């Protein structure tokens, strides 16, 4: 197959590149707005936990390491949480916009890196088409509004990879590679270093060339920067969270996914063809152009040494990543996102070569109009925003419950969250440990007023007597089959001076003459409503829990007590 001709540049590189960058930014912003306008699906793709991590950081000042509302420690390093938390802090509230902004920025940033990398070596049009192939693929459309680490990981890996290639070419700038690799590691773990450096396997490939180029410069001093940033964070996080951090991130996540323990016991190299099929289907139709590009790199390498080294670098980056994800027992289509930019650059070159027969002005006009048309199709089709999709309806119900509580609900007694209600917490902007249905039943059987939100009313009823009078304050969504409920056992649960109760994880808290302000894990923030207040805290778990109580209207330090299993602590404040 002869090499596809590349179109001549119609004008100096700088104006063409500037035009390409502006088009990518405009289309990326439009895609982000389009996805934000679609119905929310926060209960899908395990997005509730990352949102809970952000709330834990912003509200509870747990910036080093976070826990979700199940008190489960974060499974990934916190860079995405930090960025979303910063956006929420600036905006004053966590919303879908602030939650998804880092993900959208990462996808658009990865597209700009494709334009910068491929544009400099294959031509501006090749870079632009490669960037648009990412935006207008399932990967781009999905991850521009998805609260997961994959988009940010893809951006940081791409940044590290291009920094590594530049350092290989110039013999300088290895520190920039290690800085980007540290960002990738702080996003999703040490795999970021391997993927970012994978393209350097092309150095060995180039040894057979007539003009071989080996690695030069001071490579390893920058590793100290990586070790300082990553190791420093991990040490501080371990001091804060203890061995829970090691068990979760190094044990379950890293070792568990490598050995298959977290993938249903599957051995390495199980389902070996799934990874390639994921690439071909999720990146279609651009994956076909990428495959042609891979074939060309292998059989018809470029005559120009600089272009040949770059295409081989991209080939090795993609091939190593594909091999890693094929060997790993844990397989998911989204895991391939960090190697898609490598494929996109080669696909962009093939697409640009195929358009070489047309006048450059007509090509640019066609690309622009075609992109706008694709946006229009996505706006009409909304493939990931169907109004009737199950997770969309559930998310809408959780939002309705949160809005009803804020506008109409009795704010004394406080709200207790039963399992699977993290989306309600998101819309209320509150981080509070959830309780089990059995705990919810015990709370309802008590003599203190309480209000609970649940997604599984039947599970709560199973732990209650058959004749128990349970009052439903609100069921959502209105006019449809209920997917969430606000319930109480009191007919009038708004008496300010009556005893109230709230469940916080393993703790059952009874308040008399005191109001519940918030809970920061096991730290209770309370306010007296009478001169004499009485608080009872019961540890319903089978392990010790250290409880702290802060009074907002009383000067002085907090009081603290370590409660063993089933222990009751009675605290009186005068």
Q: What is the pLDDT of residues 425-484, one digit of tens each?
A: 999 999 999 999 999 999 999 999 999 999 999 999 999 999 998 999 999 998 889 999
Q: Which two tokens stand for residue 91?
A: 């905006």
pLDDT of amino acid 98: 98
pLDDT tens digits, 170-191: 999 999 999 999 999 999 999 9
pLDDT of amino acid 262: 60
pLDDT tens digits, 228-284: 999 999 999 999 999 999 999 888 887 777 776 666 667 777 888 999 999 999 999
- Residue 494 in this model has a pLDDT that exceeds 90: no
Q: Which two tokens stand for residue 240?
A: 């804060």
Read off φ and ψ for residue 10, nearest 5 degrees.
Answer: -75, -15
pLDDT of amino acid 322: 97
pLDDT of amino acid 507: 98
Alpha-carbon torsion, ordered 335, 339, 341, 344, to 10 deg: -100
- Residue 385 in this model has a pLDDT that exceeds 70: no
Q: Which two tokens stand for residue 359?
A: 């006048």
Burial environment of residue 478 by CB neighbours within 10 A (0 to 12, 13 to 18, 19 or more): exposed
Taking all residues of the chain, what is their mean pLDDT, rounded to a whole number?
Answer: 91
Average pLDDT over residues 293-319: 96
Q: Which residue has the higher pLDDT, 549 or 384?
A: 549
pLDDT of amino acid 330: 83
How far apart are alpha carbons 374 and 168 in whole angstroms? 38
Query: In the block, which residue shows the tokens 């991990």?
Result: 234
pLDDT of amino acid 150: 97
Strand (E) or helix (H) holding 116: helix 96-122
How far apart are alpha carbons 175 and 154 in whole angstroms? 19
- Residue 7 in this model has a pLDDT that exceeds 50: no
pTM (global) more than 0.75: yes
Residue 456 DSSP one-character state: -
Query: In Å, how far are 12, 24, 422, 479 from 451, measured between CA atoms?
Result: 67, 49, 16, 22
pLDDT of amino acid 389: 81
Please give the order of strands across the beta sheet that includes 568-573: 500-504, 507-512, 533-539, 568-573
pLDDT tens digits, 22-68: 999 999 999 999 999 989 999 998 999 999 999 999 999 999 999 99
pLDDT tens digits, 225-240: 999 999 999 999 999 9
Average pLDDT over residues 358-386: 82
How far apart are alpha carbons 303 and 315 in whole angstroms? 16
Cis (ω within 30 of 0) for the bond into 477? yes
pLDDT of amino acid 493: 46
- Residue 8 in this model has a pLDDT that exceeds 70: no
Cα first-last separation, the chain:
87
pLDDT band with cut points at 50, 70 and 90 for residue 1: very low
How far apart are alpha carbons 435 and 508 in whole angstroms? 9
Q: Which two tokens stand for residue 231?
A: 């190791």
Residue 335 DSSP one-character state: G
pLDDT band with cut points at 50, 70 and 90 for residue 12: very low
Alpha-carbon torsion, ordered 256, 262, 263, 266, to 10 deg: 50
């Amino acid at each position: 197959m002869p090499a596809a001709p590349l179109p001549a540049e119609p004008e100096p590189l700088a104006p063409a590149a500037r035009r390409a960058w502006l088009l990518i930014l405009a289309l990326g912003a439009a895609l982000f707005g389009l996805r934000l306008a679609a119905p929310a699906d926060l209960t899908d793709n395990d997005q509730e936990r990352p949102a809970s991590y952000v709330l834990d950081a912003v509200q509870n000042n747990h910036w080093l390491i976070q826990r979700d509302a199940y008190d489960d420690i974060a499974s990934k390093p916190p860079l995405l949480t930090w960025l979303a938390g910063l956006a929420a802090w600036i905006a004053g509230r966590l919303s879908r916009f602030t939650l998804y902004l880092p993900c959208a920025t990462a996808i658009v940033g990865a597209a700009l890196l494709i334009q910068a990398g491929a544009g400099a070596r294959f031509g501006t049009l090749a870079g632009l088409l490669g960037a648009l192939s990412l935006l207008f693929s399932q990967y781009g459309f999905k991850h521009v509004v998805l609260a997961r680490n994959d988009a940010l990981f893809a951006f940081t890996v791409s940044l590290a990879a291009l920094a590594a290639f530049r350092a290989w070419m110039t013999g300088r700038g290895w520190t920039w590679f290690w800085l980007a690799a540290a960002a990738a590691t702080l996003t999703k773990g040490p795999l970021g270093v391997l993927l970012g450096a994978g393209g350097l396997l092309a150095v060995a490939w180039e040894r057979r060339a007539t003009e071989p180029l080996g690695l030069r410069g001071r490579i390893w001093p920058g590793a100290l920067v990586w070790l300082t940033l990553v190791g420093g964070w991990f040490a501080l996080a371990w001091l804060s969270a203890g061995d829970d951090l090691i068990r979760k991130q190094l044990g379950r996540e890293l070792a568990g996914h490598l050995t298959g323990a977290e993938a249903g016991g599957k051995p390495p190299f199980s389902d070996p063809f799934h990874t390639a099929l994921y690439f071909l289907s999720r990146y279609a139709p651009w994956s076909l152009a990428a495959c042609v590009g891979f074939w060309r790199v292998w059989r018809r390498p470029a005559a120009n040494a600089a272009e040949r080294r770059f295409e081989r670098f991209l080939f090795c980056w993609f091939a190593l990543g594909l091999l890693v994800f094929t060997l790993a027992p844990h397989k998911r289509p989204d895991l391939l996102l960090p190697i898609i930019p490598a494929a996109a650059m080669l696909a962009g070159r093939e697409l640009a070569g195929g358009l070489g027969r047309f006048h450059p002005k007509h090509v640019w006009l066609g690309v622009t109009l075609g992109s706008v048309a694709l946006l229009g199709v996505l706006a009409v089709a909304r493939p990931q925003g169907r109004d009737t999709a199950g997770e969309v309806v559930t998310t809408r119900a959780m939002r309705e419950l949160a809005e009803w509580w804020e506008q109409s609900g009795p704010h004394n007694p406080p709200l207790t969250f039963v399992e699977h209600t993290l989306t309600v917490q998101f819309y209320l902007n509150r981080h509070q440990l959830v309780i089990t249905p059995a705990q919810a039943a015990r709370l309802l059987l008590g003599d203190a007023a309480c209000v609970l939100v649940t997604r599984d009313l039947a599970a709560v009823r199973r732990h209650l007597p058959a004749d128990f009078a349970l009052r439903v304050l609100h069921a959502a969504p209105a006019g449809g089959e209920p997917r969430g409920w606000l319930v109480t056992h009191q007919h009038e649960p708004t008496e300010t001076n009556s005893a109230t109760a709230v469940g916080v994880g393993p703790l059952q808290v009874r308040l008399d003459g005191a109001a519940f302000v918030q809970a920061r894990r096991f730290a209770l923030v309370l306010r007296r409503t009478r001169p004499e207040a009485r608080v009872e805290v019961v540890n319903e778990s089978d392990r010790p829990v250290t409880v702290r109580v802060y009074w907002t209207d009383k000067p002085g330090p907090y009081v603290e007590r370590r409660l063993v299993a089933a222990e009751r602590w009675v605290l009186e404040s005068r």
